Structure 1
Amino acid sequence: MAVLGLGTYRCRDITAAARAAITAGVTVIDTAPVYARGSAHAQLAGLLPDRPGLRISTKAGHMTRHQARTAQQAGLITSDEAARCHSIAPAYVRHRIAANITEMGRRRLDLLYLHNPEHGAHGDRSRLLERIIQAFTILEAAAHQGDIAGYGIATWSGFTSGAFTVQDLVTAAQRAAGSTRTHLRAIQLPVNLIELTPVAEALHGAGPVAEAAGTGLEAWASAPLNGGELLDLVTADLAEFISPGASHVAATLAVVASTPGLTGALLSASTAAHWREALSAFQRPAIPLPHLQDICRVLRA
């Protein structure tokens, strides 16, 4: 059964959300330097020194306007990268590793994702994969230096658009490491009742979630409630069909939690009540695979 972590992308008050999650027993928090208008790391930093057991994942890629101006002035990114507020250039990735460590006051990063590396690739798949290899080379060096424990890819559309596959990422990591032993650890992608393709594919042993599991990588679902949109879209009848007796939220999350091969999901919840409801959905027995197939057929019809 998958586990539940805190995703901070949509949290208005990241400190309060993290406190509520930690109190509820959550041990995984996902963030990024661009979240909360660039204050996400600072909001988390005060909670981290006394909680070494927390696993924090963060990112390199997207940046705020201020972060982009600073990086350009330092010669780390081009004017085009500054204009689109995104870069996975080696110099910027190296800078972001050090900055993330400093901002959160940690000795090393548990997991660093390249944040939507497909952003701005304009369909040039070969060039994108080469840029990923270059970034992975920096990440492998950082892992050997003890600055990060592992790295991965957090994407919104990279897998669905065909920009890359899990095997592409594994191959890129092996090229970067010069070995079959790498520090590539995880992928993160949207999985929910709207972004249902990863669930349907996983039921047949295909798609990024199954491929990640098959290569020993973690697979994390982002946006399990699709930014809260599903709270209004899921009807009482649909919730009852998915999981009899469950609330709308619990039924929606149950589909994600039951996806074969999924490591966990990252939820932006801010109150104790929300965490109790969400965690109960992840602690219930998984939806039987035949019924999960029926749910996919109904929702994709």
Structure 2
Amino acid sequence: MATGRATWSYRDTYGDSFGRTFFRRFGPGVTSSIALGTYLGDPTDEVDANYREAITLALESGINFVDTASNYRMSRSERVVGEAIREASTDRDAVFVASKAGFVPFDRTRPKNPGQYVRETVLDPGLASADELAFGSHTIAPAFIDEMVDRSLDVLDLDHIDCYYLHNPETQLEIADRGTVYDRIEAAFEVLESRVATGDIGRYGVATWDAFRVPDDDESYLSLPEVVRRAERAAETVGNDGRGLEAIQLPFNVLMADAFTVESHAGDDGEPTSALWYAHEHDLHVFTSASIAQGDLAASIPEAIDAQLTGDTPAQRALNFARSAPGVTSAIVGTSSVEHVAENIAAGTFDPLGARAFDAVFE
């Protein structure tokens, strides 16, 4: 597991190579404000090898956070993350590992009959009922989440996962009303609180695509204050001191800034606030997905915004925009090649925007 002593030592080793606030507090220690993503790419041996080489290089160059999920690339991403951590010269205790559960994962390749696979691996063993499956592939049923934690530990070949997310729980809104979905989230949180108590995971979070960045009348909306309240209740039910919910993951970039601009979550004073500000004020770490819009911002950034950002390339400037937002602990970027690793590491040598400069982007 990532420890305070090891992550601070990692920061001492690499910190002088980077700009201001590149390393930020998270969990027991500090993490790089640029993180490695493992979502994109075909489920092939060639892509596995590229990821393995890229992750190993990044861990040995100053990036110590790796984000994956049980379903990414047919479970291959989890497996490669574990292999890279073992191959790297970096101490495992200096690396934060995050994974997720919600979508039914396949095993290396797509089965010939996905429906039969889901029935045999999820429904027949009683991990979820048919009415808990959205699109025949997504569930946050407690037994399923519990099984997925074990599966992630096994596939990663690690004895601890530093942050474990519920993956896109808003998907459940396709088959259940909002109140029922909150109940399902709370039940899943109870499982994750139990796994925090046993030491299998260090903390947990909610990884979303739409839920926290859309208006409150959107069909995909989930209230961040209500999610936090459900986590507090789950911790109380399990008997933990304080909630284990410490992180959220959501898209944020130059083209998708809704998490900062859309005020759809009730603050303590009852006034609406954005997801980023709510997280900032309620001890939630934000990890941004799609930080360079899944590659779209690697070519160019809108001119008016680009002029205010730092970095030698559009991708670097896009990354620095994402990690400059209030409440953001780390910006996740897909890293499946050593060339991209070098570019992403170089992004961290530039200082992030100050608060005034960041706000100026929206004027």
Which TM-score bucket, shorter chain as reference?
Answer: 0.7 to 0.9
Instruction: Specify the alignment match of 1:172 in structure 2.
Output: 230
Any idea what the Cα deviations from partners look like across 1:184-243, whole Å, max 9, x if unmatched? 1100000101111224469xx9412221121112110011011101224426x4565123
CA distance in 2, matches of 1:136, 1:159: 17
TM score, norm. by length of structure 2: 0.74
Identity, % of aligned positions: 27
How many angstroms apart in 1 are the aligned matches of 2:244 and 2:260?
26
For the residues of structure 1 that align with 2:254 and 2:66, how far apart are their CA atoms? 23
Cα deviation for residue 109 of structure 1 reads 1.6
The answer on whether the counterparts of 2:134 and 2:171 sit within 8 Å (CA) in structure 1 is no
| Structure 2 residues without counterparts, runs of 5 or longer | 1-20, 23-32, 42-46, 112-116, 264-271
Q: Quick one: distance in 2 between partners of 1:189 and 1:180? A: 27
State how many pairs are aligned. Answer: 294
Q: Does 2:228 match 1:198?
A: no
- Greater mean alpha carbon deviation, residues 130-139 or residues 159-168: 159-168
Does the 8 A contact of 1:165 with 1:208 survive in 2?
A: no
**Normalising by structure 1, what TM-score?**
0.88
The yes-or-no answer on 1:4 pairing with 2:34 is yes
Report the CA distance between 1:5 and its aligned residue: 0.8
Select which of 279, 282, 285 maps to 1:215.
282
Q: Residue type of the partner of 1:176? A: A
Residue 246 of structure 2 is aligned to residue 185 of structure 1: yes
Q: Output the aligned Cα RMSD.
A: 2.5
Change (3 A) 1:216 1:239: closer
What is the alpha-carbon distance in structure 2 between the residues aligned to residue 145 and residue 32 of structure 1?
21
Q: Highest relative contact order (Cα 8 Å, sep 6+), 1 or 2?
A: 1
**Could you tell me which of 200, 204, 223 is aligned with 1:151?**
204
Does residue 54 of structure 1 match 2:95? yes
- TM-superposed deviation, 1:77: 2.0
Q: Quick one: which amino acid aligns to residue 328 of structure 2?
A: L
The equivalent residue for 2:312 is: 246
Where 1:85 maps in the other structure, the secondary structure is coil
Say whether the 8 Å CA contact 1:192–1:226 is kept in structure 2.
yes
In structure 2, what is the equivalent of residue 68 of structure 1? Answer: 118
C-alpha distance after superposition, 1:27-73 (max 9, x if no partner): 10000111112222222222334641221100110123556341223
Displacement, 1:129?
A: 0.7
Q: 1:265 aligns with which of 314, 318, 331?
A: 331
1:110 to partner: Cα distance: 1.0
Structure 1: 5+ residue stretches without partners: none
**Which residue is 1:124 aligned to?**
177
Closer/same/farther in 2, CA of residues 20 and 270 from structure 1, 3 Å limit: farther
Does the residue aligned with 2:246 lie in a helix, a strand or coil? strand
Partner in structure 2 of residue 293 of structure 1: 359
